[in-house]
């Protein structure tokens, strides 16, 4: 019998209810029901000992806003991970390294991950220095907290857990192959005056796969040419890109499509 691969994710947050609806719908809901993904939400406030259950305090040296206190976060992580020092502890913050599809793929191979959602003006630096094994940002913008970022990361990871999507599906998508996914069509064959390319209706699987690959190359060339620089393109791909470049220089020439 095949062993069920499951990723267990603990999330430390001041706002667990933010996670309820997004993680309880559609594919993520099914992933949890089928045992591929286990998600546990932990209220950081539950790990305070003071009467006011304070999780933040004024920053030393002055400055705007509040900083998340280290003690409740340390206590929560120790309570969750016990003596297991192998569990990755990931802080979501705008100062982290930028999250990529490759990172999602790698993280999906971990049996367990702990996410810490920062809030306010950030977390005490000692959390970073003594607890955190990785710090991730989902992009060059600042959110009100790490919760939405954690949900984005969890969603991207879940797609790579075996059994969550149809076999191979996550690897066909934009970025997994290094290319953006080309255009997709469904019925009807003609809509808004635009016809679905005949090749897609031809039933010739090899021809369709070739067309889709070139459509992906074309979209990547037009929108994210930087991605092509990191790829091992074969001679046919390079020739196709050359054609696209020529077409760009002489737009009057007929396009294959
Ligand atoms: N918290 C605030 N902004 C963030 C970002 N861009 N990525 C991850 N966590 C964040």
Q: Can you read off the two tokens belonging to residue 119?
A: 């809030």
What is the per-residue pLDDT for 119?
86
Confidence of residue 254 (pLDDT cuts 50, 70, 90): low
What is the per-residue pLDDT for 137?
98
The yes-or-no answer on residue 173 being catalytic is yes
* CATH numbers and ranges of domains, the chain: 7-158 (3.40.1280.10), 190-249 (1.10.1270.20)
pLDDT tens profile 53-98: 999 999 999 999 999 999 999 999 999 999 999 999 999 999 999 9
Q: How far apart are CA 72 and CA 45, in angstroms?
A: 7
Q: How far apart are CA 55 and CA 113, in angstroms?
A: 22
CA distance readout (Å), 163 to 23, 35, 94: 17, 10, 32
Mean pLDDT across the chain, nearest whole number?
94
Residues contacting ligand 1 via CB (< 6 Å): 92-94, 118, 137-139, 141-143, 145-146, 149
Q: How far apart are CA 131 and CA 135, in angstroms?
A: 11
Q: How far apart are CA 99 and CA 104, in angstroms?
A: 8
What share of the chain in percent tops pLDDT 90?
89
CA distance readout (Å), 219 to 168, 169, 184, 206, 257: 21, 19, 12, 20, 13
pLDDT tens profile 200-225: 999 999 999 999 999 999 999 999 99
Q: For atom 10 of ligand 1, which residue has the closest CA? A: 93
Contact 35/139 with Cβ under 8 angstroms?
no
Q: For atom 9 of ligand 1, which residue has the closest CA? A: 93
Confidence of residue 121 (pLDDT cuts 50, 70, 90): confident
Burial zone of 84 (CB within 10 Å; 0-12 exposed, 13-18 middle, 19+ buried):
exposed
What is the per-residue pLDDT for 176?
74
Q: How far apart are CA 170 and CA 83, in angstroms?
A: 34
Per-residue pLDDT, averaged over 221-243, amounts to 96
Cis preceding linkage at 188, omega within 30: yes
Output the CA 143–ligand 1 centroid distance in Å.
Answer: 5
Per-residue pLDDT, averaged over 159-182, amounts to 88
Given a cut of 90, is residue 8 above it in pLDDT?
yes
Residues linked to residue 67 through DSSP beta bridges, in sequence order: 57
Q: How far apart are CA 218 and CA 241, in angstroms?
A: 7
Given a cut of 60, is residue 239 above it in pLDDT?
yes
**DSSP of 119-173, one letter per residue?**
BTT-B-HHHHHHT-SEEEESSSS--SBSHHHHHHHHHHHHTTSTTSSSTTHHHHS
Q: How far apart are CA 35 and CA 30, in angstroms?
A: 8
């Amino acid at each position: 019998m095949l062993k069920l691969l499951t990723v267990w994710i603990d999330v430390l947050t001041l706002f667990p209810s933010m996670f309820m609806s997004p993680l309880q719908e559609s594919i993520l809901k099914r992933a949890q029901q089928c045992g591929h993904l286990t998600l546990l939400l932990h209220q950081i406030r539950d790990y305070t000992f003071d009467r006011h259950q304070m999780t933040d305090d004024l920053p030393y040296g002055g400055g705007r806003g509040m900083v998340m206190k280290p003690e409740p976060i340390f206590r929560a992580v120790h309570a969750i991970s016990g003596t297991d020092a192998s569990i990755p502890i990931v802080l979501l913050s705008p100062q982290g390294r930028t999250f990529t599809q490759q990172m999602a793929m790698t993280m999906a191979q971990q049996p367990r991950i702990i996410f810490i959602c920062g809030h306010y003006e950030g977390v005490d630096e000692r959390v970073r220095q003594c607890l955190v094994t990785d710090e991730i940002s989902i992009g060059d913008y600042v959110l009100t907290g790490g919760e939405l970022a954690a949900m984005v990361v969890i969603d991207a990871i879940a797609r790579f857990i075996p059994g969550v999507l149809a076999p191979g599906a996550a690897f066909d998508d934009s970025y997994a192959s290094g290319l953006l996914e080309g255009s997709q069509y469904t019925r009807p064959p003609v809509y808004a005056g635009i016809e679905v390319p005949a090749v897609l209706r031809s039933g010739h699987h090899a021809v369709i796969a070739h067309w889709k690959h070139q459509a992906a190359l074309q979209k990547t060339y037009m929108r994210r040419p930087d991605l092509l620089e990191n790829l091992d393109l074969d001679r046919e791909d390079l020739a196709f890109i050359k054609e696209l470049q020529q077409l760009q220089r002489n737009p009057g020439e007929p396009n294959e499509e």
